[in-house]
Each structure stands twice: as C-alpha cells, then as structure tokens.
C-alpha cells in the first residue's frame, strides 16, 4: 500500500518539516488544502492506481506516514507545480505528512538533504535530482535504510524502487526533426542547454545530435548552459546575437530558457530576424505557479 501511495504521489507530480492543518498555508506553494484539493480536480492521471480519500492503511493498520521530498529547486514554475500536485494528494489522506527540502540547484546540499530526511525517520523518499551521477551515494543510502526510493524526472544510475520520467532522447529527436524540416534542411542555430551534467540535458543534447547528423547543412553556431531557467538565457542569447549576425533558430532545452532568449532578441531589436524557437515544457511567459503540472514535457515551437 505504501508503494502504491508513493507511485500515485509521483504520477500526479511528471524548508523544515511542516505538519499543516487544512487551512494552514503549505510550505513553498503557500496554498491551503482547500485550494490544493480544488486544483486536484484538474490534475492528469488521477484515475491511475487511485486511492480513496481518507487515512491510508498498511497491512490493515492505519498509522502516520511521513514522506520526504527532495526537490532539485523551486526556481522553476514546473517544479513548484510538482510540489503542489504532491501536496494535493497528501491533503487527501489525513495520516500522510510531507517533509519538503529545497536543493537550491546544489548537488552537495541535496545530497545532505537526503541524509537529513533519513535522520528524520521518513518512511519513504521522493527524489528529483539536481544531477544524476552525483546523487548515487545519497540514493544508495536510502536503499540501504530499507525504505522506498522514488526517483522522478532525472534518473540516478543505481538501484531504486521506481523511476518515473520520459525519454528525453526521443523527445529531442522529434523536436529537432521538426526544426530541421522547418528550416528546409539548412540554417544556423544556437543551443541553450539545461543544467550541465543533468540527465535530461545530456539526453536532449544526444537526441538533437542524432537528428542533426542527417542534416549537415544545419550548423550549430554556439552552445551555452541555461540551467533550465530564464535568467541565464538572457545574457547567453545577448552574446550569441553579438557574435552571430545570422541566426535562424534557437534550440532550448527548457521553455523558460526560450523565454529568456526571446527577451534578449527583443531588447536587441532583432525580432525582424524571425528567429524560430524550438523547446520543451510548457510554462507561461509570466509566473505559472498556480497552473497544474503538465502531463509531460511538451514540444513547443515559437517565433520571436
């Protein structure tokens, strides 16, 4: 039953411990259970392995369950939406408590966070890693403790109870194929990657390269690390625009980076260049913390 609950919590997804009452604001999302349960009705996949609302019984016994959630960071609207979905499911079960820790995009901190969760005696760990390989020791520590480990979005190359994610290679191949055909098989592109060393960034880069091997006339002019967020993409794109007067498309690993690139293009008064944008995920131009999490990263195509 616990593994089933963890799977459901993870599916509806891709600070100190707080045991909040229904009308207390939950940590980070600052939403009450009433608000979160209203959002729950809009979430995808709630019919998969559903649990009835109410206390969870394991082996016929109802007892408190504490689940630790170690998130990469809460600097991206999608990751906040992941938390809101998790909180919404937890609000449905009165004996389920969450301990939520923010990794702040710092692999050393997140590694320590996982060990902190173990020290607090959680019954299971949900982990969305900053980087894949660097979190292996922390993941092994969870497994050694004999409690379930659910890894989400970015895989960790070691044993785990369950991994929930998508094929970033396949998605990148599809986006790149679309881009290459739009460009007529030739043109100049710049690439804004996700966080260097993270498994989605590695896989999306590989998927792009797999397809571009068939299109030798599509040239990659420059590559920069956008860290999955908007702010680093702005100066990157400004540098790209200064160095390269003829850019036909931007391939961004995250739509947040794409919005940053478009801002830089607008500031440079280069919108008339009609630079195309090819990317993943689906946040809005402004803050989208109140939006339910998308069912999966989505291919989007944009123009400046």
Convert the pLDDT of each residue in 226-243 to its tens digit: 998 899 999 999 999 999
Residue 62 has pLDDT above 70, yes or no: yes
Give me the mean pLDDT over the 262-274 stretch.
Answer: 96
Query: Of the given ranges (29-43, 108-122, 168-182, 270-284), which has the lowest mean pLDDT?
Result: 270-284
Identify whether the C-beta of residue 273 lies closer than 8 Å to the C-beta of residue 145. Answer: no
Task: Name the 3-class secondary structure at 223.
Answer: strand
Confidence of residue 22 (pLDDT cuts 50, 70, 90): low
Residue 8 has pLDDT above 80, yes or no: no
* 196 vs 224, more confident: 224
Give me the mean pLDDT over the 135-164 stretch.
Answer: 94
DSSP state of 95: T
Cα–Cα dist 228/145, whole Å: 32
**pLDDT at position 99, please?**
96
Give me the mean pLDDT over the 104-128 stretch.
Answer: 96
Q: Which is nearest to 118 in space by CA: 96, 139, 94, 90?
A: 139
**pLDDT at position 80, please?**
92
Between the ranges 57-66, 69-78, 195-204, 216-225, where is the mean pLDDT highest? 216-225
**pLDDT at position 4, please?**
57
pLDDT in tens, 277-297: 999 876 555 543 333 333 223
Look at the alpha carbons of 32, 33, 35, 39 in this order and tell me if their dihedral is positive or negative: positive
Cα–Cα dist 233/105, whole Å: 16
**pLDDT at position 135, please?**
94
DSSP assignments along 244-284, one per residue: -S---EEEESSHHHHHHHHHHHHHTT-GGG--EEEE-----
Confidence of residue 1 (pLDDT cuts 50, 70, 90): low
Residue 304 has pLDDT above 80, yes or no: no
pLDDT in tens, 69-109: 999 999 878 889 999 999 999 999 999 999 999 999 899 99
């Amino acid at each position: 039953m616990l593994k089933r609950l963890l799977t459901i919590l993870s599916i509806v997804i891709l600070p100190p411990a707080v045991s909040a009452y229904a009308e207390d604001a939950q940590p980070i999302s600052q939403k009450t259970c009433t608000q979160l349960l209203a959002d729950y009705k809009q979430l995808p996949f709630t019919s998969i392995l559903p649990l009835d609302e109410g206390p969870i019984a394991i082996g016929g016994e109802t007892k408190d369950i504490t689940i630790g959630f170690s998130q990469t960071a809460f600097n991206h609207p999608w990751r906040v939406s992941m938390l809101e979905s998790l909180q919404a499911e937890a609000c449905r079960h009165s004996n389920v408590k969450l301990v939520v820790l923010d990794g702040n995009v710092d692999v050393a901190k997140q590694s320590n966070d996982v060990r902190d969760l173990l020290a607090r005696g959680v019954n299971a760990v949900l982990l969305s890693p900053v980087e894949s390989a660097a979190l292996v020791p922390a993941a092994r520590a969870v497994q050694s403790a004999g409690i379930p480990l659910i890894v989400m979005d970015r895989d960790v190359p070691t044993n785990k109870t369950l991994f929930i994610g998508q094929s970033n290679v396949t998605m990148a191949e599809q986006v790149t194929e679309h881009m290459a055909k739009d460009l007529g098989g030739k043109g100049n592109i710049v690439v804004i990657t996700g966080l260097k060393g993270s498994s989605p960034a590695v896989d999306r880069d590989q998927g792009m390269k797999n397809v571009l091997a068939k299109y030798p006339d599509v040239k990659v002019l420059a590559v920069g690390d956008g860290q999955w967020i908007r702010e680093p993409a702005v100066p990157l794109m400004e540098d790209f625009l200064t160095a390269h007067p003829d850019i036909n498309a931007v391939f961004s690993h995250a739509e947040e980076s794409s919005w940053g690139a478009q801002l830089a293009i607008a500031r440079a008064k280069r919108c008339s260049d009609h630079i195309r944008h090819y990317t993943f995920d689906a946040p809005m131009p402004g803050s989208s913390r109140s939006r339910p999490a998308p069912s999966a990263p989505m291919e989007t195509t944009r123009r400046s």
